[in-house]
Amino acid sequence: MNGKVVLIVGASSGIGRVLAKKFASLGVTVIASSRSTYALLELQHEILESGGSCHVIPCDICSEASVTSLISDSIDKFQRIDIAILGSAVQYIDRVDALRTDELELMFQTNVVGIMRCARYILPHMLRRNKGQLVFLSSMMGEAAFPQMVPYGATKAAISCFARGLHRELKNSNVHVNLLSPGHMNTNISSHLGDRTPSWYGKSGSLDLDKAAEAMVKAVLANRKDVVIGRQSYMMTQLIKYMPAIANRIIHKITT
E strand or H helix at 218, and its extent?
A: helix 209-221
Distance CA 152, CA 161 (A): 14
Tens-place pLDDT, residues 215-255: 999 999 999 999 999 998 899 999 999 999 999 999 888 88
Cβ neighbors of 144 (< 8 A, separation 6 or more) are: 153, 236, 237, 240, 247, 251
Tens-place pLDDT, residues 168-209: 999 999 999 999 999 887 665 555 555 666 665 655 557 889
pLDDT range class, residue 145, cuts 50, 70, 90 = confident
| In 48-148, beta strands by DSSP E | 53-56, 83-86, 132-137
Percent of the chain with pLDDT over 70: 92
What sign does the dihedral 94-99-103-105 (CA atoms) show? Answer: positive
Least confident range from 66-75, 77-86, 186-195, 230-239: namely: 186-195
- Phi and psi (nearest 5°) for 61? -70, -5
- In this structure, are residues 23 and 6 in contact, taking their beta carbons and an 8 Å threshold? yes
- Mean pLDDT of the chain, nearest integer: 92
Give the mean pLDDT of 58-70: 97
- Domains of the chain and any CATH numbers: 5-230 (3.40.50.720)
For 18, the 3-state DSSP assignment is helix
The predicted structure's pLDDT at residue 93: 87
> CA separation (Å) from 55 to 28, 41, 44, 122?
11, 9, 7, 17
The predicted structure's pLDDT at residue 12: 92
Amino acid at residue number 214:
E
The residue among 255 and 113 whose pLDDT is bigger is 113
CA atoms within 13 A on the CB side of 131: 7
- Phi and psi (nearest 5°) for 233? -65, -45
The predicted structure's pLDDT at residue 62: 97
The whole-angstrom distance between residue 194's C-alpha and the CA centroid of its chain comes to 23
